[in-house]
Amino acid sequence: MKSKWLLLTKIQLLGLFGINKVRKTDDPSVKRKAAGGLAVFALVGLLLIFYIVLIAVEFCRQGIGALLPAASIAITSLITLLFTLLQGCSALFAMKDYDLVMSLPVTKREVLASRLLCAYVSNLVFAAGVTLPCLVVLFVFEGFSFPVLAVTLAGMIFAPILPMAVSITISALLTALTARFKYKNILQSVLGIAAFVGIMIASFSVSFNANAEQGIDMNAMYALFVENIYPPALLIQMTLSGQVWPIFAFIGGSALIGAGFILLLSVCYEKVHDALTAKGARSAYHSKDVRSTSAFSALIRKEFARLFSCPAYLLNGLSGTLLLLIAGVALCFVDARPVLEALPSSLADNLVYMGLGIALFCIGTGCPSASALSLESSHRDQLFVLPVSARLILLAKAFPTFLINAVAGIPVAAVFCWKVNAPVLGWILLPVSILFISSFIAVFGIFLNLKFPKYDWTTETQAIKQSIPVMIAVFGSMALGFAVVFGAAYLGVWILAAVDAVCLALSAAFFFYFKNVRLYIS
Burial 471-483 (b: 16+ CB within 10 A, else e): bbbbbbbbbbbbb
- In this predicted structure, what is the pLDDT of residue 292? 63
In the chain, the amino acid numbered 343 is L
- In this predicted structure, what is the pLDDT of residue 179? 59
Query: How far is the C-alpha of 355 from the C-alpha of 348, rounded, in Å?
Result: 12
Phi-psi region of 94 (alpha: psi -120 to 50; beta: other; left: phi over 0): beta
Query: How far is the C-alpha of 130 from the C-alpha of 124, rounded, in Å?
Result: 10
> Cα separations (Å) of 239 from 70, 136, 469?
10, 19, 40
**Cβ atoms of 356 and 484 closer than 8 Å:** yes
Query: How far is the C-alpha of 240 from the C-alpha of 72, rounded, in Å?
Result: 14
Task: Provide the H-helix boundaries in 284-310.
Answer: 295-309
- In this predicted structure, what is the pLDDT of residue 402? 93
DSSP secondary structure letters along 338-381: HHHHHS-HHHHHTHHHHHHHHHHHHHHH--THHHHTGGGGGGHH
Query: How far is the C-alpha of 32 from the C-alpha of 191, rounded, in Å?
Result: 41
State the burial class of residue 92 (Cβ atoms within 10 Å of its Cβ: 0-12, 13-18, 19+): buried
Q: For the chain, which ranges sit under pLDDT 70?
A: 1-5, 14-24, 27, 29-30, 33-34, 36-37, 40-41, 44, 85-103, 172, 174-217, 268-293, 339-343, 346, 378, 520-522
User: In residues, how long is the chain?
Assistant: 522
- What ranges do the domains of the chain cover? 1-15+27-279, 295-516
- In this predicted structure, what is the pLDDT of residue 113? 74
Model pLDDT for residues 367-414, shown as the tens digit of each residue = 888 888 888 876 777 777 777 888 888 999 999 999 999 998 899 888
Helix and strand element counts for the chain (H, E): 25, 0
